[in-house]
Amino acid sequence: MSELFSIEGKIILISGATGVLGSSMAKYLAQNGARVLVLGRNKAKVDGLVSEIVGNNGKAFPLQADVTDENQLKEVSKSVDRAFGKLDVLINAAGGNLPGAVIGPDQEFTDAKIEELRKVMELNYMGTFIPTMVFLPLMLKDNKGSILNISSMTAQRPLTRVLGYGSAKAAIDNLTQWLAVEFCQKYGNGIRVNAIAPGFFLTKQNRSLLTEQDGNLTDRGAKIIAQTPMKEFGQPEDLHGVIHWLCSDASRFVTGTIVPVDGGFNAFSGV
């Protein structure tokens, strides 16, 4: 691989690393020579993924914290500092949705569950904000780093039903752009902040919304496929190329962007 795209030896911390998309990224980045710091809440799952990566001759290290808990993250940051002395890439992949923050077909706006909506905002927005705040000093040690947030198709044009999650992801887009500008102005050009906006990937988060028990598409799933020029859902592997590029120096002049990985969904007006 050309030097431009090399991620050999880079220290890459992934939150939500044991999830569907996070674990796929973690394994891919380790296969390509990165040292992957696997952050999750569940020790058994974290250790399992680390063993799998190490068993395949990759380099991976376990870290345990809740991404909304500043004190736990500070402890993690100290241990990363002791072990590596810096951080090259932070991928904020922890996130998700809750039923009470979704308005079902037979519900009204006033049926939204405020507590669940708060939790969705807390996990997605604060769970991106706090790790960025806590781990930034490790990147400032050599004024070089890439921060990667995970947005969604529902951030820029809201999707029906997905009320709280859409608001939280829209806030992540805004934060991504705000941080990109702030870090250039305060620290020079070394710290970049970007997001990827995955299209529709069949995962546990949305499988029941998009497919029936027998695997056929729901009405919503069919509408999404009709609106996707490539006429398919994404696979976790479809994120690897963009993640790799944003982790590497090949994206040196790229900051404040939100890259859709969506089979064309975002570009298509439906006509």
Ligand X SMILES: NC(=O)c1ccc[n+]([C@@H]2O[C@H](COP(=O)([O-])OP(=O)(O)OC[C@H]3O[C@@H](n4cnc5c(N)ncnc54)[C@H](O)[C@@H]3O)[C@@H](O)[C@H]2O)c1
Residues that bind ligand X (CB under 6 A): 15-16, 18-22, 40-41, 66-68, 93-96, 123, 127, 150, 152, 198, 200-201, 203-206
Q: Which is nearer to ligand X, 116 or 249 (CB)?
A: 116
Give the up-direction half-sphere exposure of residue 235: CA atoms within 13 A in the CB hemisphere: 3
Q: Are 26 and 237 in contact (CB under 8 A)?
A: no
Q: Which is nearer to ligand X, 126 or 140 (CB)?
A: 126
Neighbouring residues of 235: CB distance < 8 A, sequence distance ≥ 6: 201
Q: Which residue is nearest to ligand X (CB)?
A: 19
Residue reference for tokens 């998309």: 21
Choice among 28, 125, 165, 187 that is catalytic: 165
Q: Which is nearer to ligand X, 155 or 180 (CB)?
A: 155
Q: Considering the complex, what minimum distance in angstroms separates the CB of residue 71 from ligand X? A: 13
Q: Considering the complex, what minimum distance in angstroms separates the CB of residue 102 from ligand X? A: 13
Q: Are 29 and 36 in contact (CB under 8 A)?
A: yes
Q: Considering the complex, what minimum distance in angstroms separates the CB of residue 142 from ligand X? A: 27
Q: Which is nearer to ligand X, 191 or 258 (CB)?
A: 258
Measured distance CA(52)–CA(27) in Å, rounded: 8
Our answer to whether residue 187 is catalytic in this structure is: no
Q: Considering the complex, what minimum distance in angstroms separates the CB of residue 3 from ligand X? A: 30
Q: Considering the complex, what minimum distance in angstroms separates the CB of residue 262 from ligand X? A: 9
Q: Which is nearer to ligand X, 15 or 255 (CB)?
A: 15
Strands 35-40 and 59-64: parallel
Q: What are phi and psi of 142, to 5 degrees?
A: -120, 25
Amino acid (1-letter code) at residue 22:
G
Q: Are 47 and 23 in contact (CB under 8 A)?
A: no
By CB atoms closer than 10 A (0-12, 13-18, 19+), residue 202 is middle
Spatial strand order in the sheet of 35-40: 59-64, 35-40, 11-15, 89-92, 145-150, 191-198, 258-261
Give the length of the chain.
271
Residues marked active site are found at 165
